[in-house]
Structure 1
Amino acid sequence: MFGSSEIPDCDYQNQPSLVRPWSPTPRHSLYLSNLDDQKFLRFSIKYVYLYRKSVNVENLKCSLSRVLVDYYPLAGRLRISAEDEGKFEVDCNGEGALFAEAFMDFTAEEFLEASRRPNRSWRKLLYRVEARNLLDIPPLLIQVTNLNGGGMILCTAINHSLCDGIGTSQFLQAWAHLTTKSSDPLPISPFHDRHMLRPRNPPDITFTHPEYNTTTTTTTTGTGIQSQWLEEVLQSQSQSLVPISLTFSPSQILHLKRLCVPSLKCTSFEVLASHTWRSWIQSLSPPPSLKIKLLFSVNVRKRLKPELPRGYYGNGFVLGCAETTVKELVGTNYPNIHHGVKLVQEAKAVLTEEYIRSMIDYLEERRVKPDLSMSFVISQWAKLGLEDLDFGEGKPIHMGPLASEIYCIFLPLVGDLDGVRVLVSVPESVAEKFEYYMKDFTHREEEEEEIRENGRDEIQTFLHCN
């Protein structure tokens, strides 16, 4: 049920080349903020796009060279900061992005079918750079894989220390814009400077920041149970992780929202995050007294004063943290998801400017990673415009990550702005249970009828409540 076939190997007729900026660019060191330079962000965000029609590779290289004039830090190289050996900075030296071209004996339709359940063989869609460490890898890697029948797969890898999801979308849209309208100015000019997110001097930590602190149980007697459960989880995770991809239509999301009516209004993200978190916990069956967390990305560009400038493409997000016990989250009144939704809303509400500034100062003093020991992590890729990337031959028919073993990702649905695809990897032993809990809410006709009696609002009111 959970197996998936590997895709064929890529055929490289030529060695990858470096695409440099079209014209001279500024040469300097780019400061990375503490939100950029978190240790858990020292990796590349890897996107996969599938198109029915291929785009001329030379045109893509030419427009990439042009857009790198504006986004010149992506043509530079990461290095250790001269002021602080624990931090990275960008050497804006114009060395260029690595661009690879390949062919695969596969059709677009075959890949579209395979995309229902990604696997590790997808890694071959991105040229593997032999490097000693992350600093030796260009911040921007691109591979165009031409397919049988004229289709094309575009795979991009952008170092997360330079861009967040909004920033990568902004860059990719700029590249696509110059591919189709080479003489037009960019709709959004990039803003490079990161000093608005510098720590205060001296740092002033005014909150405890549970997103980085280690979780503890609520009782001393629970510690032994926790240790036993953690050991079992580690054993289960030594199994191969199975990617689960589930699509939630607008009507299904509405159904979830109605479970919170009439006492609680919520956004699509809040209710789907709560439902996925609960389903993950239920499938793993941890002890009731165990404290567990939900960590999720929150855009803070407009939560700061002054707001981060339009065009800011660095990391402008922080982690929201909801925390509760298994018993309080799951309880016995399934599918009542009020508690989880309220926790997500409270975690968002606490992210004031002072909280964000305190977090930046906290990272300055401690250089810590988020607590992932008993946490479920969601990365929000929906509603960023990632699914609309058009290089002149139409929008993609598939968009998603190259791999999905670490976080749960909420993906946009191509052709349906109000739908969401949930992609998460779980140990094989709990995969069927997880799918059951994710889908089970749609099969309870008696509860649905009771909800109808409580009244219903218009679908679009719920789906666009933000």
Structure 2
Amino acid sequence: MMATIISPNPAMQDLKLTFQESTLIFPSQQTQKRSFFLSNLEQFLNFNAQTAHFFHASPDFPPKTVAQRLRMAVEKVLVPYDFMAGRLKWNGPLGRVEIECNGAGVGFVVACSELSVDEIGDLFCPNLGFKQLAVQRLENLDDHDQPLCVIQITSFKCGGFAIGMSVNHMLLDGLAAKMFQENLASQAFDDHKPLPFIPFHNRHLLAARSPPLVAFPHPDFLKPAGPVIGPPRPGSKRELDYIVLKITPKDISFLKALSSCDIDKNKDKEITVLNIMDIRSRMNNALPLEYCGNAIFGGYALAKCEDIEKWPFSELVKMVSEGLARVTDEYVKSAIDWLEINKGMQFGDCIVTSWLRLGFDQVEFPWGKPACCVPVANQLERLCWVFSGADGDINVLVQRPDEEMERFQFHFHNFFENSTD
């Protein structure tokens, strides 16, 4: 069986939601007002990461009860996570984004759908309608008042429900987001469980050196076209198409075997692939596991289109592996210092981020673990999300402009067909 392409169900772009509540909620205790430092690795992550976590119906926890418990848990967890209730602030003299910890609150949304979970279809194939399960903004607020985090509960007519989260990526990376969910779940129990993880907030551990020292070439970094006068807001202005690549265990075995054995495009153009990785254990003074920020970096592989076409698959795998091995303590520090000097960003024609080891589906709430956890499509056209599918499959959510998607699908099918001949 060859890897397959699944297009999101076009009939499921509207989940027929009624929004019952849309409000701000605040820390249960007064928190300290302060400016919160963001590292150079976070300065260009000003976009929302949206996720949807589906739960089966529970007779002991109807959606109304879940909403009440969830609200209580958010209020409590915002005390140790006070920065999540803040707002972004541009520090002009330093030319960088900070978080103003001002207790302005996070968004809390309650909605219900006319549909049952079964009517939505394959939960592991995120439909565009899933965007309704993790709204990014509250309609009654001006742009400068919008929260950095919105948590939403949506009930379905079958009694099942979804918890959606829309979190500005500057706040948390994937591992920190999973720890936040563990802490949030712990506070939803009525026996006052302690936090399973104490978040470590000192992001100065990834601050630039003084003076900065760029000791390596960084061809995957781009300088800004002009002066930086505010926080960047990544996102494509073009219309994007979305597909899910379904890769079975058999496909994975085939790719592994192919990597160990001996498109219509500009052949001289260089293509950069970034594989996002956790760097907590890669630094000489290892970052704490509980480091609550973005300790991620893209290991790059760079090659001309002409070479990609003619090289064996094993050579491409080797390049990706070398890109990951390149990310050492000194290399990361050099990159941070490059960003301090140039105020740019890391760039890839294809950015691959994996959820496979994060374990979102293992978070235990009072009403149980999620039946399914998936990313929600956004406007980042170069991003590919890798996550677990059903029955041991691996799914990849691909986001490309309309004019590129047909060509992408052709080459995807062509690769497997030619390799299996």
User: TM-score if structure 1 supplies the norm length?
Assistant: 0.77
CA RMSD of aligned residues (A): 2.7
Provide the C-alpha distance between the structure 2 equivalents of 1:52 and 1:259, rounded to a whole number of angstroms: 39
Instruction: Return closer, same or farther for 1:71/1:446 CA change in 2, 3 Å cut-off.
Output: closer
Which has the larger share of helix?
1
Aligned to 1:201: 210
In the alignment, structure 1 residue 389 sits paired with structure 2 residue 399: no
> What is the letter of the counterpart of residue 145 of structure 1?
T
Do 2:109 and 2:152's aligned partners in 1 also have CA atoms closer than 8 Å? Answer: yes
Matched position secondary structure for 2:19: coil
Q: Cα offset for 1:47? A: 0.8
Do 1:172 and 1:389's aligned partners in 2 also have CA atoms closer than 8 Å? Answer: yes
Provide the C-alpha distance between the structure 2 equivalents of 1:445 and 1:369, rounded to a whole number of angstroms: 36
Do 1:400 and 1:411's aligned partners in 2 also have CA atoms closer than 8 Å? Answer: no
Provide the C-alpha distance between the structure 2 equivalents of 1:121 and 1:346, rounded to a whole number of angstroms: 36
Which 4+ stretches in 1 moved above 6 angstroms? none
Aligned to 1:25: 31
In the alignment, structure 1 residue 376 sits paired with structure 2 residue 350: yes
Query: Number of paired residues?
Result: 394
Deviates more, 1:5-14 or 1:425-434: 425-434
- Corresponding residue to 1:317 among 284, 293, 296: 296
Do 1:123 and 1:402's aligned partners in 2 also have CA atoms closer than 8 Å? Answer: no
Q: How does 1:335-346 map to 2 (within 5 A)?
A: 336-346=312-322
Q: Cα offset for 1:136? A: 3.0
> What is the letter of the counterpart of residue 89 of structure 2?
R
Aligned to 1:78: 88
Instruction: Return closer, same or farther for 1:238/1:33 CA change in 2, 3 Å cut-off.
Output: closer
Instruction: Return closer, same or farther for 1:180/1:431 CA change in 2, 3 Å cut-off.
Output: same
Provide the C-alpha distance between the structure 1 equivalents of 2:125 and 2:277, rounded to a whole number of angstroms: 27
Provide the C-alpha distance between the structure 2 equivalents of 1:75 and 1:171, rounded to a whole number of angstroms: 14
Provide the C-alpha distance between the structure 1 equivalents of 2:417 and 2:298, rounded to a whole number of angstroms: 33
- Corresponding residue to 2:277 among 280, 287, 298: 298
Provide the C-alpha distance between the structure 1 equivalents of 2:31 and 2:105, rounded to a whole number of angstroms: 11
Q: Cα offset for 1:120? A: 6.0
Matched position secondary structure for 2:166: strand
- Corresponding residue to 2:198 among 174, 178, 189: 189
Instruction: Return closer, same or farther for 1:35/1:371 CA change in 2, 3 Å cut-off.
Output: closer
- The gaps in structure 2 that reach 5 residues or longer are 1-5, 224-235
Do 2:384 and 2:399's aligned partners in 1 also have CA atoms closer than 8 Å? Answer: no
Provide the C-alpha distance between the structure 2 equivalents of 1:83 and 1:191, rounded to a whole number of angstroms: 27
- Corresponding residue to 1:177 among 177, 180, 186: 186
Q: Cα offset for 1:34? A: 0.9
Aligned to 1:69: 79
Provide the C-alpha distance between the structure 2 equivalents of 1:213 and 1:199, rounded to a whole number of angstroms: 18
Aligned to 1:210: 219
> What is the letter of the counterpart of residue 11 of structure 1?
T
Provide the C-alpha distance between the structure 2 equivalents of 1:371 and 1:181, rounded to a whole number of angstroms: 45
Instruction: Return closer, same or farther for 1:390/1:201 CA change in 2, 3 Å cut-off.
Output: same
- Corresponding residue to 2:376 among 389, 397, 402: 402
> What is the letter of the counterpart of residue 192 of structure 2?
S
Matched position secondary structure for 1:400: strand
Provide the C-alpha distance between the structure 2 equivalents of 1:91 and 1:446, rounded to a whole number of angstroms: 55
Aligned to 1:60: 70
Q: How does 1:248-263 map to 2 (within 5 A)?
A: 248-261=247-260
> What is the letter of the counterpart of residue 43 of structure 1?
F
Provide the C-alpha distance between the structure 1 equivalents of 2:316 and 2:101, rounded to a whole number of angstroms: 44
Q: How does 1:284-295 map to 2 (within 5 A)?
A: 285-295=264-274
Do 1:410 and 1:422's aligned partners in 2 also have CA atoms closer than 8 Å? Answer: yes
- Corresponding residue to 2:328 among 342, 352, 355: 352
Provide the C-alpha distance between the structure 2 equivalents of 1:429 and 1:18, rounded to a whole number of angstroms: 40
Do 1:43 and 1:159's aligned partners in 2 also have CA atoms closer than 8 Å? Answer: yes
- Corresponding residue to 2:55 among 51, 58, 67: 51
Provide the C-alpha distance between the structure 2 equivalents of 1:238 and 1:204, rounded to a whole number of angstroms: 35
Provide the C-alpha distance between the structure 1 equivalents of 2:210 and 2:190, rounded to a whole number of angstroms: 45
Structure with bigger gyration radius: 1
> What is the letter of the counterpart of residue 77 of structure 2?
V
Provide the C-alpha distance between the structure 2 equivalents of 1:28 and 1:378, rounded to a whole number of angstroms: 35
- The gaps in structure 1 that reach 5 residues or longer are 215-236, 264-281, 448-466
Instruction: Return closer, same or farther for 1:252/1:37 CA change in 2, 3 Å cut-off.
Output: same
Q: Cα offset for 1:443? A: 5.3
Identity %: 28
Provide the C-alpha distance between the structure 2 equivalents of 1:315 and 1:173, rounded to a whole number of angstroms: 17
Instruction: Return closer, same or farther for 1:91/1:252 CA change in 2, 3 Å cut-off.
Output: same
Provide the C-alpha distance between the structure 2 equivalents of 1:442 and 1:259, rounded to a whole number of angstroms: 11
Instruction: Return closer, same or farther for 1:182/1:65 CA change in 2, 3 Å cut-off.
Output: farther
Do 1:405 and 1:424's aligned partners in 2 also have CA atoms closer than 8 Å? Answer: no
Q: Cα offset for 1:408? A: 3.3
Provide the C-alpha distance between the structure 2 equivalents of 1:440 and 1:393, rounded to a whole number of angstroms: 45
Aligned to 1:244: 243
Do 1:321 and 1:347's aligned partners in 2 also have CA atoms closer than 8 Å? Answer: yes
Provide the C-alpha distance between the structure 2 equivalents of 1:247 and 1:446, rounded to a whole number of angstroms: 17
Provide the C-alpha distance between the structure 1 equivalents of 2:102 and 2:148, rounded to a whole number of angstroms: 12
Provide the C-alpha distance between the structure 2 equivalents of 1:164 and 1:184, rounded to a whole number of angstroms: 24
Do 1:48 and 1:401's aligned partners in 2 also have CA atoms closer than 8 Å? Answer: yes
Do 2:108 and 2:151's aligned partners in 1 also have CA atoms closer than 8 Å? Answer: yes
Provide the C-alpha distance between the structure 1 equivalents of 2:197 and 2:366, rounded to a whole number of angstroms: 19
Q: Cα offset for 1:200? A: 0.7
Do 1:21 and 1:65's aligned partners in 2 also have CA atoms closer than 8 Å? Answer: yes
Provide the C-alpha distance between the structure 2 equivalents of 1:58 and 1:360, rounded to a whole number of angstroms: 42
Do 1:297 and 1:378's aligned partners in 2 also have CA atoms closer than 8 Å? Answer: yes
Q: Cα offset for 1:182? A: 4.5
- Corresponding residue to 1:42 among 34, 39, 46: 46
Instruction: Return closer, same or farther for 1:300/1:68 CA change in 2, 3 Å cut-off.
Output: same
Aligned to 2:10: 4
1:228-283 per-residue CA deviation (whole Å, 9 max, x = no partner) reads: xxxxxxxxx998432111222233211100112257xxxxxxxxxxxxxxxxxx4x
Q: Cα offset for 1:99? A: 0.3
1:52-102 per-residue CA deviation (whole Å, 9 max, x = no partner) reads: 225421111111111112212112222223752x21212222232110111
